[in-house]
Amino acid sequence: MTSITTHPAWRRTGPFLLLVAWLVAIKLAIMGGPSAFRSPAQVAVFAWPFLGIVLVAGLGGVWLSRRTGIPDLLDDEVSARRRFLAPLIIGALLGLAMLGSDWGFGWSQPLARGHGLPSIHIPFPASLLIYPGGAIIVCVIYYLVPIPLLAWLLSRVLWRGRHQARAYWIAGLLCAAIEPLTQDLTPSMRALGTVGALVFALDYAANAAQVVVFRNAGFLAVVTLRIAFYLVWHVAASAGLG
């Protein structure tokens, strides 16, 4: 008899539902306590209505992913090394690169002052809880929903079922620019000149790396990479290691 954990439908969607359940657990854990968030935008993405959007839109992204050549969440052809170990290492290295850029140029402090904040990082130990949850939300917003949707529109609608791989890479490399364009082109960042350009390049590299692992190993690899990146860059920095 097939158990629920080995059922094909569960293997395609079950892990995503567990990620959303984790978000709900984080939301419940932070309710009622003093807010550790640094901005209203961070508060908004953990609001119940937005978590509902993440659930519904994310399930749509899971469904579209299978139709655009992206591996299922627990695809049997993807090894644990490709799904978890490689993204973990890549994310940690990218986090170290971002941390190193801040050590060398000290760009995060003027950026924080420009927004009237003591730091761009959520305080520790709340950061250890919030950033992994934020990683899931970011991965849904920037990868799981827009990349399969745009790739599907290009391949299935525009090119009538052809050029699936080309459609993915066009969609992915365009979507990799969303975060750097929306976060790294603020007046405070532009005022940093070449240092701001370096941060933009590092940010785009981190996003492009997630596009690569999404295509090669599926969504869980994307989440793993982003969590590792946040643990080194945001959590380690908030714990006084940055």
The DSSP secondary structure of the chain, one letter per residue, reads ---TTTSHHHHHHHHHHHHHHHHHHHHHHHTTS----SSHHHHHHTSHHHHHHHHHHHHHHHHHHTTTTPPPTT-TTS-HIIIIIHHHHHHHHHHHHHHHHHHHH--HHHHHHHTT-S-SSPPTTHHHHHHHHHHHHHHIIIIITHHHHHHHIIIIIISTT--HHHHHHHHHHHHTTHHHHHHSSSHHHHTTTHHHHHHHHHHHHHHHHHHHHHHHH-HHHHHHHHHHHHIIIIIHIIIII-
Average the pLDDT over 62-91 and give the result: 95
pLDDT at 50 over 50: yes
Q: Is the dihedral of CA 199, 218, 46, 150 positive or negative?
A: positive
pLDDT at 2 over 60: no
Question: What would the pLDDT profile of 18-29 be if each residue is shown by its tens digit?
Answer: 999 999 999 998
Do the beta carbons of residue 195 and residue 105 sit within 8 Å? yes
pLDDT at 227 over 50: yes
Please state the domain extents for the chain. 10-241
Question: What would the pLDDT profile of 148-189 be if each residue is shown by its tens digit?
Answer: 999 999 998 889 888 999 999 999 999 999 999 998 887 888
- In 3D, which of 116, 94, 181 has the Cα closest to residue 142? 181
In sequence order, what are the residues at sequence separation of 6 or more whose Cβ sits closer than 8 angstroms to the Cβ of residue 214? 70, 143, 147, 172, 221, 222
> Which amino acid appears at position 70 of this protein?
I
Measure the N-to-C terminal CA separation of the chain; round to a whole number of Å.
52
Q: Is 236 left (phi over 0), alpha (psi -120 to 50) or beta?
A: alpha
Position 39 confidence tier, pLDDT thresholds 50, 70, 90: low
Mean pLDDT lowest among 1-15, 64-78, 119-133, 219-233: 1-15
CA distance 95 to 110: 20
Average the pLDDT over 106-117 and give the result: 84
What's residue 72's pLDDT?
Answer: 94
